[in-house]
Amino acid sequence: MTRQEALQALLVGAEVAAEKIHEGYNLLATGELGIGNTTPSSAIVALFTNSSIEEVVGRGTGIDDAGLIKKRRAIEKAFEVNQPDRTDALDVLTKVGGLEIAAIAGSILQAAASRVPIVIDGFISTAGALVAAKLAPKSTAYMFPSHGSVEIGHRKALAELGLEPVLHLNLRLGEGTGAVLTFHLIEAALHILEEMATFADAGVSEKLT
């Protein structure tokens, strides 16, 4: 991507989130459908977490050893050719990211700007969350990671964000599957916070008998 294309993709994601927030949605989620996008995601995570490629590149949809080697080499080549600046989030996004990752980052930034929580689902979405966090660090306060992916770089990405996943189900998908499960837990937590009676409300004595 060019830098302008990356900015446009960020704005596309922001516009989608803004539209839904305007319609009255007060909890959003990210997700993606695609093949090959764990490669740019791994590149982003490697740069932002200062990790080696071997530490963050997983098997994605289940590639064999030869495919894993090829995947690592592709990222090495991208770093060599494009020379991304890890201190410049937009530069990283432009040089080793993807349009879908940019749109995810944009949706997260818009959610945070609107003070609306957003559930981050899977490895690719977490790469987008890293981009968002590097552009606007306070945006992490509005992120809820849904699940811990089996992709090896996901744990490092979440650690960089300072976040813990709600679920540990050995999910590989990032297609919103963990997000829809997490929605119910967030809603349940809100019901407990807002509706659960105290001992006093329920007429229960706190004294031990």
CA distance 32 to 16: 14
Which residues, other chains included, contact 114 with Cβ-Cβ below 8 Å and sequence gap of 6+?
A: 17, 18, 21
Backbone phi, psi, residue 87, to 5°? -85, -5
Q: Which helix (H) or strand (E) is 20 found in, with range?
A: helix 3-22
Contact criterion met (CB below 8 Å) for 10 and 110: no
23 included as an active-site residue: no
Per the residue annotation, which of 175, 187, 195, 206 is the catalytic one? Answer: 175
Q: Which residues are catalytic?
A: 175
